[in-house]
Amino acid sequence: MAKACGGIPLVSTSVGSWFAESPGFLDSVVKKQREAYSHARAAAAASPSRVSLLHIDEIDAIPNRAKLSPRNLEWWNVLVSDTLNLMDSTLSARSDSDAHIIICGSTNAIERVDPALLRPGRLEKIVEIKPPDLAGTINILKFHLDGEVGGDLTVHDLERAALPIEAIPPARLFRMAVHEAAHAVATLVLEIGTVRQVVLRERAGTGGHTLVDYCDADLSTRAVIEDRIVASLAAREAERLLTGTVSVGSGGALDSDIGTSTIQVAQIFASFGMAGDPTYLGTGPGLLAEIASNPDLRERVGHHMRNLERRAARLVAANRGAVLAVAARLAEKRHLVGAEVDEIVRGRLRPRRRRPPAAKAA
């Protein structure tokens, strides 16, 4: 605005700064407000145009006295009255010999502004600046970039902005990559769904994640649930096989690989009646308390988890090359979409052996 008005001087202040730049007592806040007006008056007097622009940001911080409690009104009334008097005396200066000040307030909450500030002769003209459309956004970017970008924006540029390459120690990076790669490869070997993306991102505190769209053409059976558990435990077994040790990355939380797998195994026995007696003992995270207090259920869950863990270990060993290939590309790019994973492992996977159908008596 100051530039559009012929480059007149700009003095910008805010109600918050009146408090932040003073002890915060009523008299000191009033003095800081008057100081802003004095700076604007001096800037106008020194300008060839004899005009300056005073900008008061977050003008809604001057409260609406009609909505204040009696106690708060007693404190704020002095400041609000001084604001109105300063504004009136400043805007009523019409002599040709006087320096003139244009006052502009800005806010994101016009409904909270005291109506007294918006009366004729004060801040009477309200201009709403809405978010820019696509053309406006491009224009803003061009203005601020001022030719600094040499080429067109690409999808790769957006990926790098959303998923920057973080500095991660090599050993940690390899372990993270192997962990997520095993999830993806196991999903494809077991044919339980489609890998949508695999991401390594330590900054978010997760280390990474593998997003899978599971097949849902039918209700889940015991075999389907067990395959998903194997895909979860495959990451842990890949760490064991390819780094020599298992880290805390597979456990430690309810939503971890071990946490979700434990609940799913318990549901096979205690929720869905898929093994043993068809008795309902609970579902979801509530089963963890049942496991802790029920030795029989705890033994069955632990035994079955070990069996599925051995399946996961065999799967990883049989597809070691595919896991390492995906891990290498993931460590380099930090983000792979499903099509990239499919391309990397194509021809490397060793599909699981299907169980032959049970014979039927004639």
Give all domains of the chain, ordered by start, each with its CATH number. Answer: 10-143 (3.40.50.300), 161-345 (1.20.58.760)
CA–CA separation, 232 and 331 (whole Å):
20
CA–CA separation, 291 and 298 (whole Å):
5
Q: Tell me the pLDDT tens digit for each residue of 33-85.
A: 999 999 999 999 999 989 999 999 999 888 888 888 888 888 888 888 899 99
CA–CA separation, 94 and 296 (whole Å):
92
pLDDT of residue 150: 67
Kindly indicate the confidence band of residue 160, based on its pLDDT and cuts at 50, 70 and 90: low
Could you tell me which residues come within 8 angstroms of residue 313 by beta carbon, excluding any fewer than 6 positions away?
Answer: 237, 240, 241
| DSSP 8-class letter at 241 | H
Percentage of the chain lying above the pLDDT 70 cut? 90
More confidently predicted of 161 and 269: 269
Q: Do 68 and 19 contact (CB within 8 A), yes or no?
A: no
Q: Do 100 and 93 contact (CB within 8 A), yes or no?
A: yes
Q: Tell me the pLDDT tens digit for each residue of 14-30.
A: 988 888 887 878 888 88
Which two tokens mark 56?
A: 């008061």
Kindly indicate the confidence band of residue 357, based on its pLDDT and cuts at 50, 70 and 90: very low
pLDDT at 267 over 50: yes
From 40, 33, 35, 28, select the one nearest 14 (Cα to Cα).
Answer: 33
pLDDT of residue 163: 64
Which two tokens mark 74?
A: 């007693």
pLDDT of residue 359: 43
Which two tokens mark 68?
A: 């204040």
pLDDT at 264 over 80: yes
Stretch 81-97: mean pLDDT, rounded? 79
pLDDT at 361 over 70: no
Q: Tell me the pLDDT tens digit for each residue of 180-232.
A: 999 999 999 999 999 999 998 776 555 789 999 998 888 899 999 999 999 99
Q: Give one word for 334, left, alpha or beta, with left for phi > 0 and alpha for psi -120 to 50.
A: left
pTM: 0.57
From 303, 314, 218, select the one nearest 268 (Cα to Cα).
Answer: 303
Cα–Cα distance list, 60 to 11, 90, 112, 185 (Å): 19, 20, 6, 56
SS3 of the chain: helix, strand, coil, percent, to 5 = 55, 10, 35
Q: Tell me the pLDDT tens digit for each residue of 330-356.
A: 999 989 999 999 999 988 888 766 554
The alpha-helical segments, DSSP class H, found in the chain are 15-20, 26-46, 70-91, 134-145, 155-162, 170-190, 222-243, 257-270, 287-293, 295-318, 320-333, 338-345
pLDDT of residue 190: 95
Q: Do 344 and 326 contact (CB within 8 A), yes or no?
A: yes
pLDDT at 159 over 60: yes
pLDDT at 138 over 50: yes
From 66, 45, 161, 158, select the one nearest 117 (Cα to Cα).
Answer: 66
